[in-house]
């Protein structure tokens, strides 16, 4: 019989609430895109571009949040719940401060930042409005992401799911009101969408905070947010800083690739934004399985159950690959019709439709990379994933995107080809690293310090 703690950390128990949460987050993004498309395709381009900027900023606090999440699962696995609780408190305190700094920067200099990132000049006023409002609420994203990560890594993946449901419902209702001037709302267009985003996130933060304070055996008190345990925070950073660089590589490389696409024109930028929405849906279940596997493997690794941890990665990869291939095929068949829901511009639809076959090739490589990359992160092998990200994302995904997509004139086809090559390269390297079991073997080796502490002294008989 499985005990209650073990049951909480089984793959499917962890995965299905994460899937529903991610699906609802996707739904929020898709509804945003669909509703904003009723304003204009330029507005869609601004939202897509801005979201890449916001993702870039989130890496600053996700360094701490991600490292803390993995360490919390490991500590719970090794029955050190007090340490897990302390790590959670520190993570929320520190990421909130980082998020506050990001909010100030984006609120004060929105148009200047967009111009520096080569957004077309005619889109700058619209971007200034959207970035200042949504970016000004970056502290909410920091708090929401960190508390969700902490709660999820305690094995409670349902709580963030419930919050996502409420946030989506509120956001969709407010979007409808602000865009169409219904339900007593003023018709504020893109500005209204931005306000809707911030309000729904604020309500989500309040609910997550209530859940976070009660996530451990003893309720967290407000005065404890002043707590700072240097050794434990050092452990968080040891795992977290390579994760932060890894995430930064992905987000900033994507941001730079978006600037390449922006030079191709507003139609290409809008097409990429629409395709990004469809691709996100395609990979939702794969992402949820990979995230659940990371939590499960971290817990098993902390408990010393390394053989089970090793097998869990392949189980997640197998299930995930089947699902993403099926979803990618469905998108390949119906993708052109789905693009027609977002825009009537035949140029944009044609550009997006030309990428559907390439997405069918992309998704299995993405699953290979994410499942085994997350598994390596779960056991603390975060430096390896950082090194391969630094090499592959910048040289293959970014530099080659410029060479083939811009310099050689292949456009989005050339850029997508480089993104596919990057995913498969990182996935293959992660596979061989996981197969070598370097960190798992280290965990199986006895601790010399512990052996010396428990070994009987020479000439003194061991106690019975």
Residue 305: partners with Cβ closer than 8 Å, 6 or more residues away? none
Q: Is 410 helix (H, G, I), strand (E, B) or coil?
A: coil
pTM score of the predicted model: 0.76
The pLDDT value given to residue 320: 92
Q: 159 pLDDT exceeds 60? A: yes
Joined tokens for residue 377: 């992160």
| Spatial distance between the Cα atoms of 159 and 49, rounded to a whole number of angstroms | 30
Strands (E), 362-461: none
Q: 450 pLDDT exceeds 60? A: no
> CA–CA distance from 251 to each of 53, 55, 65 (Å)?
8, 6, 16
Average pLDDT estimate for 99-117: 90
| Spatial distance between the Cα atoms of 328 and 363, rounded to a whole number of angstroms | 7
> CA–CA distance from 133 to each of 21, 121, 235, 303, 330 (Å)?
24, 20, 35, 44, 36
What percent of the chain stands above pLDDT 70? 92
Average pLDDT estimate for 384-390: 93
> CA–CA distance from 290 to each of 15, 161, 214, 376 (Å)?
8, 17, 26, 11
Q: 428 pLDDT exceeds 60? A: yes
Give the range among 20-29, 90-99, 299-308 with minimum mean pLDDT.
Answer: 20-29
| Spatial distance between the Cα atoms of 418 and 151, rounded to a whole number of angstroms | 36
The pLDDT value given to residue 56: 77
Across all residues in the chain, what is the average pLDDT?
85
| Spatial distance between the Cα atoms of 450 and 442, rounded to a whole number of angstroms | 15
The pLDDT value given to residue 207: 95
Q: 372 pLDDT exceeds 90? A: yes
φ and ψ at 185, to 5 degrees?
A: -85, 150
Burial of residue 116 (CB within 10 Å: 0-12, 13-18, 19+) is exposed
Neighbours of 280 (CB within 10 A): 16
Angle at 362 between CA 359 and CA 363, to 5 degrees: 90
Say how many Å lie between the first and final Cα of the chain, rounded.
32
The pLDDT value given to residue 224: 86
Residue 27: partners with Cβ closer than 8 Å, 6 or more residues away? 168
Q: Angle between the 138-153 and 81-108 helix axes, to the nearest 10 degrees? A: 160
Q: pLDDT digits over 1-35, tens only?
A: 445 555 666 777 888 888 887 887 777 666 766 77
Q: Would you say 423 and 362 are in contact if contact means Cβ atoms under 8 Å apart?
A: yes
Give the range among 233-242, 277-286, 405-414 with minimum mean pLDDT.
Answer: 277-286
Average pLDDT estimate for 331-343: 85
The pLDDT value given to residue 72: 92
Q: Would you say 64 and 149 are in contact if contact means Cβ atoms under 8 Å apart?
A: no
Q: Would you say 430 and 372 are in contact if contact means Cβ atoms under 8 Å apart?
A: yes
Closest CA to 89 of 267, 204, 264, 224: 224
Q: How far is CA 25 from the centre of its chain?
A: 11
CA dihedral sign of residues 424, 426, 427, 429: positive
């Amino acid at each position: 019989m499985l005990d209650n703690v073990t049951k909480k950390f089984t793959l499917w128990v962890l995965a299905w609430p994460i899937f529903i949460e991610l699906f609802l987050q996707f739904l929020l993004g898709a509804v945003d895109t669909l509703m904003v498309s009723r304003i204009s395709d330029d507005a869609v381009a601004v939202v897509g571009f801005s979201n890449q900027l916001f993702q870039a900023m989130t890496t600053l606090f996700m360094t701490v949040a991600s490292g803390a999440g993995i360490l919390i699962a490991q500590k719970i696995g090794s029955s050190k719940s007090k340490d897990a609780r302390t790590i959670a408190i520190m993570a929320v305190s520190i990421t909130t401060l980082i998020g506050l700094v990001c909010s100030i920067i984006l609120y004060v200099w929105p148009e200047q930042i967009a111009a520096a990132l080569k957004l077309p000049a005619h889109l700058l006023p619209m971007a200034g409005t959207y970035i200042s409002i949504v970016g000004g609420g970056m502290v909410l994203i920091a708090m929401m992401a960190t508390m969700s990560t902490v709660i999820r890594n305690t094995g409670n993946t349902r709580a963030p799911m419930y919050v996502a449901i409420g946030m989506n419902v509120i956001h969709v209702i407010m979007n409808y009101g602000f865009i169409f001037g219904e339900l007593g709302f003023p018709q504020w267009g893109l500005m209204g969408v931005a306000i809707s985003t911030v309000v729904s996130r604020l309500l989500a933060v309040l609910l997550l905070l209530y859940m976070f304070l009660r996530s451990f055996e003893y309720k967290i008190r407000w005065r404890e947010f002043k707590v700072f345990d240097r050794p434990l925070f050092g452990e968080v950073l040891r795992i977290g800083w390579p994760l932060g660089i890894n995430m930064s590589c992905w987000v900033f490389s994507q941001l730079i690739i978006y600037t390449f696409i922006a030079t191709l024109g507003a139609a290409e930028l809008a097409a990429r934004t629409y395709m990004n929405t469809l691709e996100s849906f395609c990979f939702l279940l794969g992402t949820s399985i990979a995230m659940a596997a990371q939590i499960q493997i971290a817990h098993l690794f902390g408990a010393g159950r390394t053989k089970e941890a090793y097998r869990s990665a392949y189980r997640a990869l197998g299930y995930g690959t089947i699902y993403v291939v099926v979803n990618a095929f469905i998108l390949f068949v119906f993708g052109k019709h789905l693009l027609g829901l977002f825009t009537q511009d035949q140029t944009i639809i044609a550009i997006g439709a030309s990428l559907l076959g390439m997405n069918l090739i992309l998704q299995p490589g993405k699953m290979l990379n994410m499942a085994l990359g997350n598994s390596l992160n779960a056991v603390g092998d975060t430096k390896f994933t950082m090194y391969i990200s630094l090499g592959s994302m910048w040289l293959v995904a970014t530099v080659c995107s410029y060479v083939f997509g811009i310099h050689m004139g292949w456009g989005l086809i050339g850029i997508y080809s480089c993104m596919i090559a990057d995913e498969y390269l990182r996935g293959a390297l992660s596979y061989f690293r996981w197969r070598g079991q370097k960190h798992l073997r280290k965990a199986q080796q006895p601790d010399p310090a512990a052996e010396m502490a428990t070994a009987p002294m020479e000439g003194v008989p061991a106690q019975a």
